[in-house]
């Protein structure tokens, strides 16, 4: 046997296989790393579930095409905990999906893209009769669905919000149809047969759910708000601090303390005399904000910093409107808008 | 042979390079630790120090809420930074001051502990200064390393 024949018979296929397996293993490892970093906190390790749905459920994997997962990761669920991962590359998303698929040996479904054309008005009647208890008025989802980062764990899954634009942009009509017909094993979602629904009924329901769709979601957020609120003060450094304290109390907040920005980093005698943080709080507001989403605590307590630099005094704070975009939670947006107004009002009052 | 290997190795080299890109996260960095709160708190403080940062303050949000009549599980905010870096940044980029020192919220949930912080990498969209980008990416990597300690404590 010539050397060339040896190469083509043994060495080339062996090298190819080694490289192929290394490549697949590398992709799987990457999927695991990405899943652990970005998904496990909500969906649990190996998809056991948590705030997010248990992705490891066999029924879920059997009914969910890769395209649905791909779109869901990309666009998230606007106004809900699930964020859009628009910074991830397509390759990263495929690695995550590959890892999710590795948990169970299931067939990946391939639903065709044919839209269902039926009567949404009849669908609404059926929805109000059979689905509204779990999926809420107009498909809004049960109370708390996807809203709060902590939730009671008495159900294996929270009924999803069917009118969420991220969901509607991800799920095809044929996928919805299959879920309604089959139900979802190991969850409270029953099969259509339990309600004696016909094929036409199911089509009407799909049409009604599809009628909630209003927009195409791309996942790109508009991060237009400035990250900080800054006001120039005509007063001295100390006067500005006192003005802020007065304005805080007038707004029904409690002063916690004021301290140098470098407090805790340097000995007290060396602390900055030109950077002072005024901390304040309203426990009622904090408690309610934490109940909507406990993650918001990372911007607590409320704080305005007064800075004197180059003979100029400025008062500044974070911009809650900009930060609310981090949480993807429309209930929190309302609270953050209010907080933005409060910060702006205190800053204006103290520097006018 | 060389051509074949080059063709086969190129995608592998690319794959080997890609995990470093996984450092670009979403806008929040979060970790759920199966450690109970006191243990997780201890690991967090150790990880922050190990990463070269100084702990400046721990805000007991839970205690403050309890004093006002609100019941809540353990909830703390841990503040930290690097003294010289703080001095430099407050002088050269005062617009960053409201976000300094860095902080991580840590709170208990049913025997587990959750940790969350904003990802400094998102500041790159807001500040064009390339020198700052290096700082943001360093913070980003440090925060990822700190959080990983809670997933896989030494």
ipTM score over 0.95, yes or no: no
Interface of B with A in 85-124 (CB under 8 A): 86-87, 90-91, 94-95, 97-101, 103-105, 107, 109-110, 114, 116-118, 122-123
A161-184 pLDDT, tens digit each? 899 989 999 999 999 999 999 999
Find the residue in B nearest to A91 (Cα): B18
CATH of B27-151, one of 3.30.830.10, 3.30.310.70, 2.60.120.260, 1.20.120.720: 3.30.310.70
Q: Is A266 on the interface with B (CB under 8 A)?
A: yes
Interface of B with A in 31-60 (CB under 8 A): 31-32, 54-57, 59
B115-141 pLDDT, tens digit each? 999 888 877 777 778 888 999 999 999
Inter-residue contact A289 to A296 (CB < 8 Å): yes
A186-210 pLDDT, tens digit each? 888 999 999 999 999 999 999 999 9
Q: Is A50 on the interface with B (CB under 8 A)?
A: yes
A271-305 pLDDT, tens digit each? 999 999 999 999 888 888 888 788 888 888 899 99
Q: Is B79 on the interface with A (CB under 8 A)?
A: yes
User: Does the model's pTM come out above 0.80?
Assistant: no
Q: Where are the domains of chain A?
A: 21-210, 228-351
- CATH top-level class of A228-351: alpha beta
Q: Is B136 on the interface with A (CB under 8 A)?
A: no
Query: What architecture is domain A21-210?
Result: Orthogonal Bundle (1.10)
Q: What is the DSSP letter of A157?
A: S
Q: Is A27 on the interface with B (CB under 8 A)?
A: yes
B101-119 pLDDT, tens digit each? 999 999 988 788 889 998 8
User: What is the structure's pLDDT at A187?
Assistant: 85
| Closest CA of chain A from B130, distance in Å | 18
Inter-residue contact A302 to A325 (CB < 8 Å): no
User: What is the structure's pLDDT at B70?
Assistant: 87
Distance, CA of A115 to CA of A203 (rounded, Å): 10
Q: Residue A329 above 90 pLDDT? A: no
**What count of CB pairs under 8 Å joins A to B?**
156
How far from each other are the two terminal CA atoms of chain B, in whole angstroms?
A: 45
Q: Is B137 on the interface with A (CB under 8 A)?
A: no
Residues A92-104 as b/e (b if ≥16 CB within 10 A, e otherwise) read bbbbbbbbbbeee
Q: Which two tokens stand for residue B93?
A: 């980029």
* CB-CB under 8 Å, B4 with A298: no
User: What is the structure's pLDDT at A155?
Assistant: 57
Strands B28-33 and A312-318: unpaired
User: What is the structure's pLDDT at A17?
Assistant: 61
């Amino acid at each position: 046997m010539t050397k060339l024949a040896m190469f083509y018979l043994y060495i080339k296929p062996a090298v190819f296989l080694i490289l192929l397996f290394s490549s697949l293993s590398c992709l799987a490892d990457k999927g695991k790393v990405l899943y652990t970093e970005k998904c496990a906190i909500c969906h649990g390790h190996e998809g056991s579930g948590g705030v997010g749905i248990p992705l490891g459920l066999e029924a879920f994997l059997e009914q969910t095409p890769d395209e649905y997962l791909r779109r869901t990761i990309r666009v998230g669920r606007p106004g809900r905990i699930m964020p859009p991962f628009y910074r991830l590359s397509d390759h990263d998303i495929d690695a995550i999906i590959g890892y999710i698929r590795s948990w169970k040996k299931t067939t990946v479904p391939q639903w065709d893209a044919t839209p269902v054309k039926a009567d949404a008005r009849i669908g609404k009647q059926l929805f109000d009769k059979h689905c509204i208890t779990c999926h809420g008025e107009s498909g809004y989802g049960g109370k708390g669905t996807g809203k709060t980062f902590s939730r009671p764990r008495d159900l294996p899954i929270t009924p999803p919000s069917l009118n969420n634009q991220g969901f509607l942009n991800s799920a095809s009509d044929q996928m919805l149809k299959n879920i309604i017909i089959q139900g979802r094993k190991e969850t409270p979602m029953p099969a259509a047969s339990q309600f004696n629904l016909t094929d036409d009924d199911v089509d009407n329901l799909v049409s009604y759910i599809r009628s909630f769709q209003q927009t195409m979601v791309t996942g790109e957020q508009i991060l237009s708000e400035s990250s900080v609120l800054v006001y120039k003060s005509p007063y001295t450094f100390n006067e500005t601090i006192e003005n802020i304290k007065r304005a805080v109390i007038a707004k029904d907040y409690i002063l916690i303390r004021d301290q140098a920005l470098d407090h805790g980093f340097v000995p007290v005698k060396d602390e900055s005399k030109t950077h002072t943080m005024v901390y304040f709080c309203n426990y009622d507001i904090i408690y309610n904000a934490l109940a909507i989403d406990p993650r918001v605590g990372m911007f607590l307590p409320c704080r305005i910093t007064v800075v004197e630099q180059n003979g100029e005094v400025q008062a500044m704070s974070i911009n809650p409107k900009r930060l609310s975009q981090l949480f993807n939670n429309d209930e929190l947006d309302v609270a953050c808008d209010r907080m933005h107004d409060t910060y702006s009002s205190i800053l204006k009052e103290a520097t006018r | 042979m060389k051509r074949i290997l080059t063709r086969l190795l190129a995608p592998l080299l690319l794959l080997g390079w890609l995990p470093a890109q996984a450092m670009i996260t979403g806008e929040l960095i979060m970790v759920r630790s199966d450690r109970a709160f006191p243990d997780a708190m201890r690991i967090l403080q150790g990880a922050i120090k190990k990463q070269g940062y100084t702990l400046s303050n721990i805000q007991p949000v839970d205690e403050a809420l309890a004093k006002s009549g609100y019941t809540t599980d353990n909830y703390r905010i841990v503040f930290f930074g690097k003294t010289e870096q703080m001095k430099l940044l407050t002088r050269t980029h005062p617009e960053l001051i409201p976000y300094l020192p860095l902080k991580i919220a840590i709170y208990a949930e049913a025997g587990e502990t959750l940790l969350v912080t904003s990802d400094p990498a998102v500041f790159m969209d807001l500040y064009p200064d390339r020198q700052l980008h290096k700082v943001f990416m360093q913070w980003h990597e440090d925060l990822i390393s700190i959080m990983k300690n809670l997933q896989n404590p030494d």
